[in-house]
Amino acid sequence: MPRILLYTGKGGVGKTSVAAATALACADAGMKTIVLSTDIAHSLGDAMGRELGPEPIEVVPNLWGQESDAFFNVARYWGRIQEYAASVLRWRGLDEVLAEEMTVLPGMDEVGSLLWIAEHHDSGKYDVIVVDAAPTGETLRLLSLPEAAKWWMEKVEPIGRRISKLTGPLIHRVVGIPMPGDDVFDAGENLFARLEYMRSLLADGSKTSVRVVLTLESVVIREAQRSFTYFHLYDYPTDLVVANRILPAEVGPYFRGWYEAQQSYGPIVEESFAPIPVLRAPYFDREVVGIERLRELAVAIYGERSPTDFYYRGRPYSVKRDDQSFVLSLELPFTSREQIALTRHGDEIVIDVGAWRRNLVLPRVLIDAATQGAHFEDHVLQIRFAATGTASPATTKGGNHG
Ligand SMILES: Nc1ncnc2c1ncn2[C@@H]1O[C@H](COP(=O)(O)OP(=O)(O)O)[C@@H](O)[C@H]1O
Ligand SMILES: [Mg+2]
């Protein structure tokens, strides 16, 4: 059963370097490993000092690299499906803007390359699949696509098939709905089935770890925190944070300010991601290019441990949806109700537990949602948020996670 390690983070933090270094460490340890980049701005080949292509290429023994393009030409029919879904929604009385929003599944090209993960998983050729994913925002969108697709399948597609079978020509004449044939629906179903399969692999905590690479800068940390909440919202297992490019103490006066800022952010990162561990890598005195440099980076990050270890198991917190509310649940062992205080600051919940403070950056679905109340029982803190209006598909939580 292959292990899947997916690295994401803000642009430029070192995702590609860390993913390549990780893959190399796995290969060096004797595991058949593929590292594939799903970022359309490929730089994996540059990091490895070797030209890569859309098919896997063996770089060193046990290590294959791939700068994938779309495995499945998603865009080809997506345009038609989307246009059609929007017209059905308009026809059902949803206003135009909302109808558009509910059917826009951006990143359909990139998602095609993520489908390679399922391909490599099923091929049986590899022990480890390392993914150098796109920057966080992008990757999150892609990872939320299967949810959106499921929504589409359940809500739009049955109506569509019915209409197109029974009254297609008539409806078309009267209200101008484009009527795609069954081929479009079949293509859609096929695509969504693949997406759903990929999602199930990535959400499988016995196989997959989604890992966040960050640097010790406020903007980067904030984005990492938000993405972290999102991974929980969509049930993707996270087990590790890699803090990259940490300046050594012996920097000169010019970089003193940077050094001190990083020193002060270190504990904040540890605290806000706890209990997920944070591994650190230094800022090297030159770029991380080529096998030798990558090996150094891997040793700096993982030391003697295997990158395929599960660094954390479980869900530190989760966000679930029921009919009227989103419920954010957070495990707080060794706590009593009297010790907990909650404050809301816009997109952030500050949780004070005795002398400890945790800043939880809320996922976007919750930013505008009013807090309805909180509840502490069996060591689980539950904060309830109003689910306002109609959620867009990318933020709608299916009922299968309750
Ligand atoms: N720990 C490090 N020390 C020095 N340079 C690094 C380190 N990590 C990454 N780099 C360099 O920073 C640049 C960006 O890294 P890259 O891995 O391409 O980031 P991303 O994939 O997140 O955009 C590259 O030139 C890389 O060699
Ligand atoms: Mg990159």
In a domain, residue 374? The reply is yes
Looking at residue 348, its pLDDT comes to: 82
Q: Looking at ligand 1, which atom is closest to the CA of residue 213?
A: 22
CATH number, domain of 345, equals 2.60.40.790
Cβ atoms within 10 Å of 236's Cβ, excluding its own: 23
Domain boundary among 260, 280, 314: 314
Cβ–Cβ under 8 Å, residues 232 and 329: no
Pocket test of ligand 1: the residue of 36, 287, 294, 299 to mutate, having most ligand atoms within 8 Å of its CB, is 287
Q: Is residue 396 part of a domain?
A: no
What is the count of structural domains for the chain? Answer: 2
Q: Among 9-13, 43-47, 153-157, 213-217, where is mean pLDDT lowest?
A: 153-157
- Cis peptide bond N-terminal to 275, omega within 30: yes
Using the atom order of ligand 1, give the atom closest to the CA of residue 47: 27
Q: What is the pLDDT of residue 231?
A: 78
User: Is residue 310 located within the same domain as residue 229?
Assistant: yes
Q: Check whether residue 348 and residue 303 sit in a common domain.
A: no
336 and 302 part of one domain: no
| 349 or 300, which is more confident | 300
Q: Are residues 309 and 343 in the same domain?
A: no
pLDDT of residue 393: 38
Distance 46 CA to ligand 1 centre (A): 11
In-domain check, residue 395: no
What's the CATH number where 161 sits?
3.40.50.300
| Of 174, 209, 18, 194, nearest in space to 87 by CA | 174
Both 353 and 249 in one domain: the answer is no
**Cα of 321 from ligand 1 centre, angstroms:** 38
Q: Please state the pTM of the whole predicted model.
A: 0.77
pLDDT value at position 74?
Answer: 55
Q: Residue by residue, what is the 3-state secondary structure of the chain?
A: CCEEEEEECCCCCCHHHHHHHHHHHHHHCCCCEEEEECCCCCCHHHHHCCCCCCCCEEEECCEEEEECCCCCCHHHHHHHHHHHHHHHHHHCCCCHHHHHHHHCCCCHHHHHHHHHHHHHHHHCCCCEEEEECCCHHHHHHHHHHHHHHHHHHHHCHHHHHHHHHHCHHHHHHHHCCCCCCHHHHHHHHHHHHHHHHHHHHHCCCCCEEEEEEECCCHHHHHHHHHHHHHHHHCCCCEEEEEEEEECCCCCCHHHHHHHHHHHHHHHHHHHHHCCCCEEEEECCCCCCCCHHHHHHHHHHHHCCCCCCCCCCCCCCEEEEECCCEEEEEEECCCCCHHHEEEEEECCEEEEEECCEEEEEECCHHHHCCCEEEEEEECCEEEEEEECCCCCCHHHCCCHHHC
Q: Which residues surround ligand 2, an ion (CB under 5 A)?
A: 15-16, 43
- Which of 288, 292, 299 for a ligand 1 pocket mutation test, highest count of atoms within 8 Å of Cβ? 288
Alpha carbon of 227 to ligand 1 centroid (Å): 20
Q: What is the mean pLDDT of residues 179-186?
A: 62
pLDDT in tens, 338-388: 888 999 988 888 888 776 667 777 877 788 889 999 999 887 899 999 986
Looking at the structure, tell me whether residues 229 and 331 fall in a common domain. Answer: no
> Which of 314, 345, 373 lies at the terminal end of a domain, its last residue?
314
pLDDT at 339: 84
Do 163 and 297 fall within a single domain?
yes
**Best residue for ligand 1 mutational test, from 8, 13, 15, 17 (most atoms within 8 Å of Cβ):** 17
Q: Is 398 inside any structural domain?
A: no
Q: What is the pLDDT of residue 153?
A: 63
Closest Cα to atom 24 of ligand 1: 287
In terms of domains, do 124 and 265 share one? yes
267 φ/ψ angles, rounded to the nearest 5 degrees = -65, -30
64 lies in some domain: yes
- How many whole angstroms from 17 Cα to the centroid of ligand 1? 6
Ligand 1 site residues, Cβ closer than 6 angstroms: 9, 11-17, 43, 244-245, 281, 283-284, 287-289
Local confidence band at 394 (pLDDT 50, 70, 90 cut-offs) = very low
**How many beta carbons lie within 10 A of that of residue 336, not counting itself?**
11
Cα 27 to Cα 60, 285, 301, distances in angstroms: 8, 25, 16
Instruction: Using the atom order of ligand 1, give the atom closest to the CA of residue 289.
Output: 27
Distance 15 CA to ligand 1 centre (A): 7
Kindly state whether residue 188 falls inside one of the protein's structural domains: yes
- Containing structural domain, residue 13: 1-314
Confirm if 360 and 351 have CB atoms less than 8 A apart. yes
Sheet containing 340-345, strands listed edge to edge, beginning at the edge strand earlier in sequence: 340-345, 348-353, 356-361
pLDDT at 17: 98
User: Would 399 be classed as within a structural domain?
Assistant: no
Do residues 265 and 322 share a domain?
A: no
Q: What is the mean pLDDT of residues 247-261?
A: 93
Domain match, 326 and 187 both: no
Residues 290 and 380 in one domain: no
Q: Where is the domain boundary, 271, 286, 314?
A: 314
Among 2-6, 46-50, 64-68, 163-167, the range scoring the smallest mean pLDDT is 163-167
Q: Which of 156-165, 193-202, 206-215, 321-330 has the highest mean pLDDT?
A: 206-215
Are 306 and 326 in the same domain?
no
